[in-house]
Amino acid sequence: MFYSFIAAMIFLPESAVSSERLAVKSSKANIRSGPGTNYDTLWEVEKYHPLIVLETKEKWCRFRDFEGDEGWIYRSLLGEINTVITIKDKCNVRSEPGEDKPVIFTTDKGIPFKVLERKEGWIYVQHADGDKGWIYQSLVW
């Protein structure tokens, strides 16, 4: 049984299926309709945008994002970075973890952040522009 599994892994096709969570590591990345630069650009994402990889085909990844949208992105633009993205409108980012702590800035839905720390339901995050603060975990994906 074990050897059958190993043999199957060795002979996987170039188009492999996975469900790995990765994030955009470049400042911006084009999302395409297919696996190549000859396909249309559907939209653009910014640094730290998290994605669930559904399939890899050569050097391209088909993914699903926090809204369920799917597209293709060049694999070298992704990294294993712990990130989140806001899923609500008007999310408060605070100076410290706690609803009674001062709000230092507010974000809209769809803003990605790098995760720096987690503490009792709060996440210490950093935006690509350097802004940092604490956001409640139910406000992000």
Claim to verify: residue 17 and residue 56 sit in the same structural domain: yes
Which residue bears the tokens 């995760």? 115
pLDDT tier at 116, thresholds 50, 70, 90: very high
Query: In a 3-state reduction of DSSP, which class is residue 37?
Result: coil
CATH code for the domain in which residue 91 is found: 2.30.30.40
Residue 132 lies in a domain: yes
Q: How many domains does the chain have?
A: 2
Domain boundary among 55, 81, 107: 81
The domain in which residue 18 lies consists of 13-81
Claim to verify: residue 73 and residue 96 sit in the same structural domain: no
Residues 25-61, buried b or exposed e (16+ Cβ, 10 A)?
Answer: beeebbbbeebeeeeeeeeebbbbbbbbbebbbeebb
Is residue 10 over pLDDT 80?
A: no
Claim to verify: residue 68 and residue 19 sit in the same structural domain: yes
Of the chain, the percentage scoring pLDDT greater than 70 comes to 87
For the stretch 54-89, pLDDT in tens is: 999 999 999 999 999 999 999 999 999 999 999 999
pLDDT tier at 1, thresholds 50, 70, 90: low
